[in-house]
Every structure is written in structure tokens, then in C-alpha cells.
Amino acid sequence: MTYSPHAQKFDAVVVGGGPAGLSCSCELARKGLKVAVLERGRSPGSKNLFGGRVYSGPLERVYGNLRKEAPIERWVKHERMSLVADDGALSIGYDSSGSTSFTAYLSKLVAWMSSKAESQGAVMVTDVRVDGVVMEEGRAVGVVAGGDRIDAGVVVVAEGANRLLCEGMKVTPKLSPGQVALGVREVLKLGSEKINERFGTGGDEGMAWFFLGKPSEYLPGGAFLYTNSSTVSIGLVLYLDEGLQVPSDHVYDILERFKTSPTLKKLLAGGSLVEYGSHLIPEGGPEMMPKRVFGDGYVIVGDAAGLVLNLGYTVRGVDFAVHSGYLAAQAIADAHSSGGFTSQNLAAYGDKLNGSFVVKEMRRHNAIRKLMRKKRVFDAYPRTLVDAARQLYEFDEASPKLIEAGRRSTKGRLSILGMLSDLLLLGRGP
């Protein structure tokens, strides 16, 4: 769309056309505010990347016809979790007739969300980089993009995990390697029939599969696989601070070894690569959130606010982002009709976010996040449990008792004290 930045002053300028920014802009435009979305990509969704799963509830609050209109690939009805070691894998599964999450290409989903925002009257400006937020006397009054200044009553910072604007505004410190992970993903085309045959799915059924241990070379992180209609999304997540300790291995080589491992080799045979990408993932938990997600003339939403939760067996990010944008829009609309975009008025967003399931979930599961940073969870535990399973199922004449297999497997790998400390960490909660 051709746009003259000096044509008008917007009520709100949204920096970033991802799930958080688009849900916010759609709700604001629906409420009658003049909204512009500034997106760095050439088209909405072109620079968006994630693993592949979305929990639907928060999106359905914003987009009522989500199930009928959104570009959904499959509904996740099969869950798998595998602990993988050099000589085997131990897996558990859960199958359901219902589902609250679906697989999707984020690029397609975001493009659809963008069309919804535009249909409500939001102005979409693509292929533009925002260089900074204009601050006057401590108040955000607009942004500088492509050498032009765009004025706005409020700036919605939805820039993603790489928080350069927030750092420039001095509302967040510079990111440290321990706060983010690197996610890499490939999409392989297999065809619907092969996917259904190999993964035991059918119709609109999808699978979400998580892996701990060998796939990440026993480093904190993990791997994932999601089935789409005719493709499979497979990827790897490594915490940056841990990954930097293995300079001899490129993350691409680690992913290639995982794809050709005994666990996946036959399942992925004949697949052709159709997409490859990588992105940063906020992994700092509640401690990564800005002290205040609002201020005079601005709010911070989505990944920029650190709103991602990795539980090891599932990851939540898109639904958190969408809900934060939705809550920010409510607070902005109220501020617009009751005295302006002051810090006092926009504080309602902070209250709404803190009282929402998003922050409550992040705090409630913070112990799991801390546990997921311990190397033994990805090294000693997978090796121990796979070794115990090997003893229980592979024997000559005498089968060992369960306690005997457990005792032999933990020897030299796990201590009673270490396991107790992990249990106490989970028991203490946040």
C-alpha cells in the first residue's frame, strides 16, 4: 500500500505485524481508532517463523470465525514425548478425540490475521524498518521509520524477541544469551497419505512430538515435530549460552543428525525440503518481562514483553502474544476515550496482563522453566531412563526387577540428592 507518513496522525502506531501487533490493531480498528501497522517484511507474515502449533482459545476471542476461516493445517489430537539416547528412545503418548490446538504455517496465519485487521480499517505498511521510538519529555509520540517521522497518540511495541526499540527506549536491558534460545526449523513435504500412514493420523488429525536428550546433543533445549496437511515441520531449539559452548558443531549439522537418526529416518524418508528458517525465542520467563509493559504513550506486547512459556512437552507463544495484544487494545481504547494515553491510563494494560492467564501461567510454571535449564534433564535423565528400558526389554534369560534396572541405570549418572532437589524445585512452584 502506498502511504504518505505525513498524511495524518494516527491514534496508534503498531510496530510489528506479528500475532501480538495484529490482534491489537484489529481490536483497535474495530473500536474505531485510526491504526497503522508498520511491518519490516515485504508482506505480512513473510518474516514470521515458529515451530508449528497454536492454542486456539485466545485467537477465537479475537477472531470468532477462526475455525472456519483461518488457514489451519491440522488439529493436534496425538501427543508424543520421547527421551532419546545414543542407543534408543523411550516414548509416551496421548491420543484424544478432541483438540484445543492446531498446526499452521505462521506466515499464512499472520497474513490471514493481517487481512482481518485491514478489513476493520487498519492501515498496513510493509517493507519498512522502524529505527526508533520518538520520545519527548519522557513520552512516546511516534516513531522514525525509513527516515520519516510518524506521529501517534500511542506506540504499540510488538517488535519480537530482539528488543532493539525497547533497549533504545531504555525500558529493557540488552538481551543476554541466557535469556533467549535459537530455534531452527525445516518443513519437509511428504504428502498427506504418507503422513497419515507413518504417523497414525487421519482426516484433520495432527501430531505434536517433542524430544529431549540426544537430538540437542544432550544440551538444554530440545527438538520438535509437527504434522501439517501434506508437510512435516521439524526443528531444534538450543539455548544460546549453552550452544556457544559447542563451537565445533553448527546447529544445522545437529538438526541433520536428528533427522537421520533411527527414531525419524524411516518416518521422514523421501521428504523434500520446502522451507528452512531460524529465529530467536524468549526463554527468560517472568524475569525477562519489562518492569513495566506500559508508559507514557506506549505499551509492549508479545515476544517483546517476553511472553513465551516452554514446558518441555509443549510451547506456548502465539496464543500469549495474541491475548497480550487484545488486552493492550482494550486498555488503549479506554484511554482514548478517558483522558489520553498517559502512563496512568495505560496502567490498565499492566493490570489486565498481570491478572490474565498469560502471566499467571508463566509464574505458575516458572519452576519448570528453571528445571529446563539444568543439563542433567537433557543428559542424565534421558540416558538413565533409556538404559533402564533397555535392561527391562532386552535380556537373555533373567529379566531384572524394576528397582534393579533403575539402580543400575542411575549409577554414575544421577544422585539421590540431585533427583530430590529437582523434585523439591517442582514442589516449591514459582
Is residue 186 located within the same domain as residue 166?
Answer: no
Q: Domain ends where: 282, 304, 333?
A: 282
Could you give the C-alpha distances from 230 to 74, 99, 107, 186, 197, in angstroms and in order? 10, 19, 16, 14, 12
Q: Are residues 269 and 320 in the same domain?
A: no
Mean local confidence (pLDDT), 211-235: 95
- The gap between the terminal CA atoms of the chain, to the nearest Å, is 47
| CATH number of the domain bearing residue 269 | 3.30.9.90
CATH of the domain at 146: 3.50.50.60
Does residue 1 form part of some domain?
A: no
What per-residue confidence (pLDDT) applies to 195?
97
Residues 356 and 319 in one domain: yes
Mean pLDDT check: name the lowest of 118-122, 165-169, 241-245: 241-245
64 lies in the same domain as 36: yes
26 domain-assigned: yes
pLDDT of residue 176 exceeding 90: no
Higher pLDDT, 265 or 425: 265
Residue 331 within a domain = yes
150 neighbors 28 (Cβ within 8 angstroms): no
Q: Give me the mean pLDDT over the 358-371 stretch.
A: 91
pLDDT in tens, 106-124: 999 999 999 999 999 999 9
Residue 42: its pLDDT value, please? Answer: 85
Q: What value does the mean pLDDT take over residues 214-228? A: 94
Same domain, 289 and 277: no
* Overall number of domains in the chain: 3
pLDDT confidence of residue 421: 83
Average pLDDT over residues 167-172: 93
- Among 365, 391, 413, the domain boundary falls at 365
Of 234, 257, 282, the residue that ends a domain is 282
State residue 45's pLDDT score.
67
The pLDDT of residue 199 is above 70: yes
Mean pLDDT calculated for residue range 378-388: 94
User: Over 80: is that where the pLDDT of 427 sits?
Assistant: no
User: Which pLDDT belongs to residue 194?
Assistant: 97
Strand partners for 88: 85
> Above 50 in pLDDT, residue 183?
yes
| Mean pLDDT (whole number) for 252-268 | 93
Residue 6: predicted pLDDT? 45
* Top-confidence residue, 147 or 142: 142
pLDDT at 295 over 50: yes
pLDDT grade for 323, boundaries at 50, 70 and 90: very high
The answer to whether position 83 is within a domain reads no
Do residues 196 and 51 both lie within one domain?
Answer: no
Q: Which pLDDT score is estimated for 344?
A: 96
Tell whether 272 and 227 lie within a shared domain: yes
Same domain, 37 and 138: yes
**Would you say residue 292 lies in a domain?**
yes
Domain assignment of residue 371, yes or no: no
Beta strand pairing call for 101-103 and 130-136: unpaired
Cα distance between residue 113 and residue 299, in whole Å:
20
The predicted model gives 159-188 an average pLDDT of 91
Whether the Cβ atoms of residue 8 and residue 115 lie closer than 8 Å to each other: no
Mean pLDDT of the chain, nearest integer = 91
Q: Is residue 85 part of a domain?
A: no
Could you tell me if 60 and 119 lie in one domain? yes
| pLDDT the model gives residue 175 | 87
Say whether pLDDT at 28 is over 80: yes
Q: Mean pLDDT throughout 210-239?
A: 94
Render pLDDT for 47-79 as a digit per residue (tens, 0 to 9): 667 779 999 999 999 998 999 999 999 999 999
Amino acid at 32: G
Q: Is the pLDDT of residue 270 over 80?
A: yes
Question: How far apart are the C-alpha atoms of 207 and 75, rounded to whole Å?
Answer: 8
> Does 264 have pLDDT greater than 50?
yes
What Rg do the C-alpha atoms of the chain give, in angstroms?
23
Same domain, yes or no, for 186 and 244? yes
User: Which residues sit opposite 108 in a β-bridge?
Assistant: none
pLDDT for residue 372: 86
Do residue 127 and residue 15 come from a single domain?
yes
As a whole-number percent, the residues of the chain with pLDDT over 70 amount to: 94
Q: How far is CA 136 from CA 31, 140, 344, 346, in A?
A: 27, 6, 17, 17
C-alpha cell at 338: 478517558
Could you write out the three-class secondary structure of the chain? CCCCCCCCCEEEEEECCCHHHHHHHHHHHHCCCCEEEECCCCCCCCCCCCCCEEECHHHHHHCCCHHHHCCCCEEEEEEEEEEEECCEEEEEEEECCCCCEEECCHHHHHHHHHHHHHHCCCEEECCCCEEEEEEECCEEEEEEECCEEEEEEEEEECCCCCCHHHHHCCCCCCCCHHHEEEEEEEEEECCHHHHHHHHCCCCCEEEEEEEEEHHHCCCCEEEEEEECCCEEEEEEEEEHHHHCCCCCCCHHHHHHHHHCCCCCCCCCCCCEEEEEEEEEEECCHHHHCCCCCEECCEEECHHHHCCCEECCCCEECHHHHHHHHHHHHHHHHHHHCCCCCCHHHHHHHHHHHHCCHHHHHHHHCHHHHHHCCCHHHHCHHHHHHHHHHHHHHCCCCCCCCHHHHHHHHHCCCCCHHHHHHHHHHHHHCC
Taking alpha carbons only, the member of 256, 249, 236, 209 closest to residue 89 is 209
Q: Which residue has the cell 532419546?
A: 84
> 52 with 134, same domain?
yes
Q: Which domain holds residue 254?
A: 178-282
What nine digits make up the cell of 427? Answer: 514442589
Q: What is the distance between the alpha carbons of residues 27 and 333, in angstroms, rounded to a whole number?
A: 9
Number of Cβ within a 10 Å radius of residue 329: 28
Is 352 within the bounds of a domain? yes
Is the pLDDT confidence value at 7 over 90?
no
Asked whether the predicted pLDDT for residue 247 surpasses 70, the reply is no
